[in-house]
Structure formats: structure tokens, C-alpha cells
Amino acid sequence: MNTLLLDSDDVDEHAALAAVIDAVEQAFGAFERGTTQMPAKSYIDLPQYNGDFRSMPAYLDTGDWDAAGLKWVNVHPDNPADHGLPTVLGTMIYSDPETAFPLAIMDGTTLTMKRTGAAAAVATDYLAVEDASSLGLVGAGVQSYTQLEAISEVRPIEEVVVSDPDDERVERFVETYEDRFDVRGGSISEAGHCDVLSTVTPVEDPIVGLEDVGDQTHINAIGADAEGKHELSDELLGAARIVIDDHEQCTHSGEINVPYGEGVLTDADIHGEIGELVVGAKAGRTAETGVTVFDSTGLAIQDVAAARVVYENARETDSGYDFGMIDTDQ
């Protein structure tokens, strides 16, 4: 019995977004039903290297399938300048829950982008207007690409407006998609007045206000992944129907962490978790719903669900590198 080694190209090829979106939706449902195990993310701080490690283990049982795995990820800001390496390097170990055999070791960085895009797509499907055809993006980094790819799987996106202070990044984004979409650069307000808006920036001072979005815009707040980060103004959050992925993570390090910590937002201002929408315990968008916000911090169950899709697809096509890591001749 062999372990499958899958690099970033393999993950990119086999993380078919439609399948990943479905798997992440099932993971959110399992989380709400209580058929998951997801210990809190643990940290190893390494100030001598200006970095840290984070471990994200999870198990989930959707009823149709179960899966287990661990993502081992870091943040080392000095890597690009000092070592020619990415700031973030993720490794995913995907295991058989029944035997604990390591079925695959795969690139976790590309996997993270895919599952983050998929989570936004799930939220968009429940919270955006049914005929949403325009998507705004605030931030033109790597995650913006996956946001467009994933959201266009669940809504008939035709027009795309991308806003970023770096003109070269905007130009690259436009050139990538100009053959598929009516895509252009624009202001934050122009992006925000689209039917769907995804914010993918690392800012700590809000850059999107209530006046910057439409009356029924759905917002995927993706950028806030640490305490103190905050892309949307308190006024905007206060006026919106807020859906989160996990209460503990979102109140500690998600989009709502700053106003929640200051008491500006309370639990009464949170409509529910995305899993509640998936299982039908809470309503998504209704005729009376105005602006909606999905606060996405990223859950380990999403990584495991996405890893299952990648592994199954790779096995079907004999992709990756098969190697005997574990001696099974016992």
C-alpha cells in the first residue's frame, strides 16, 4: 500500500472546483450536525526566525463519506526577501480514518486557496441574489483569482470589477480573465456595488464602508485571518446580515473580531453559522434581506474535504508520485 505525493500542480489540476464546493458544503453541514472533530488550531511561535507554525487537524463524517487529515502551515514574513521562499508554506497529510494510513501528502498552499474560494462560493449560493451576474474584488492578490473561479461556479458572473492600489496586479488580473469575463479595474465603491463582493486584503483599518456597497450586495470577507485585521466598517457590519463559519475563530481572528472585542457587535448581531444555512436551521437570503456578509476564517474540515476531492481525482487518473513510505510487510 503506497502513499501518494501531490505537488502544487497536481492539487491545482485535481481540485475540481465544483466538486470542492460540494465537499466544503457537506463539511459545513457535518459541522453543524456535530459529526466532526476539529481541535483548536495550535501554534508554535518562533520569534528568533520571525515566524510560526500552525497545526490544523480534523475529522468529518458527512454520512456519505468520512475523512481525516492534518494541515501543517506556517507564516514566515522574511522568507521572500531572505530565502526566496513564500511567506506561507502548507503541507496537507490526508489519512484513512479507519486505519490511519497516510493516503496522501500534498501541497497545502494551493489546497488552502481552493477551499477558501469554495467556502465563499457556498456562502454566495445561500446569500447572494439568485441572478447575481457581477462580482467585485477588493484586492488583486492570488486569492482573488480563486474567488472568481469559485463564485462563477454558483452564479452566472459576467461583469468583474477589481480594485487594488497596485496597478500592475490589476493589469495582470484583467489580462488573465479578459477573454472570459467583462473585467476591468475600478474603485472600491465600484467593486462594492456589484451583486457579490469579495474582500481579500490584509488591512487593519476598514476600507469598505456602507456607502461603498449596493442595497443587496453579498460580501465575502476573506482577508481577516488574525486578531486586529478588519476590512469592513463597523457601520457596514451593523447594517448587514452576518453569517460566520465558526464563532470562536471569527470572534478571535475573523472580520468581526475587532468590533466584537470592543462590544460594538454582539452575538445578537450574528445571524448564524454557515452550517446552519446548509442544514436549513437558519434562512439564507429572503426577499427582505439587504446587505449580507460571510465572515470566513477557514476551517480545518474544509481542508480535509478538499483534500479528499484531490486524492480521489488523482487516484482515478494515476497522477502524482506513488511511494512506499510505510513498511506494510509486517
Grid coordinates representing 81 are 526577501
Q: Is 71 a catalytic residue?
A: yes
Q: Which of 199, 246, 247 is nearest to 224 (CA)?
A: 199
Q: Has 78 been labeled as part of a binding site? A: no
Q: What are phi and psi of 128, to 5 degrees?
A: -85, 160
- What is the identity of the amino acid at 155? R
Taking the C-alpha atoms of residue 291 and residue 210, their distance in angstroms, rounded to an integer, is 9
Is 307 flagged in the annotation as binding? no
Does 224 show up as a binding residue in the annotation? yes
Question: What are the beta bridge partners of residue 51?
Answer: 46
Closest CA to 214 of 234, 240, 238, 233: 240
Q: Would the annotation count 142 as a binding residue?
A: yes
Burial tier of 310 (Cβ tally within 10 Å: 0-12, 13-18, 19+): buried
Catalytic residue among 41, 71, 114, 282: 71
Beta bridge partners of 134: 159
Q: Is 296 annotated as a binding residue?
A: yes
Determine whether the annotation assigns residue 48 to a binding site.
no
Say whether 64 counts as a known binding-site residue.
no
Q: Is 282 labelled a binding residue?
A: no
Could you list the residues known to form a binding site, using ranges. Answer: 115, 142-143, 223-225, 229, 296
Which residues are known to be catalytic? Answer: 71
What residues form the annotated binding site for NAD(+)? 115, 142-143, 223-225, 229, 296
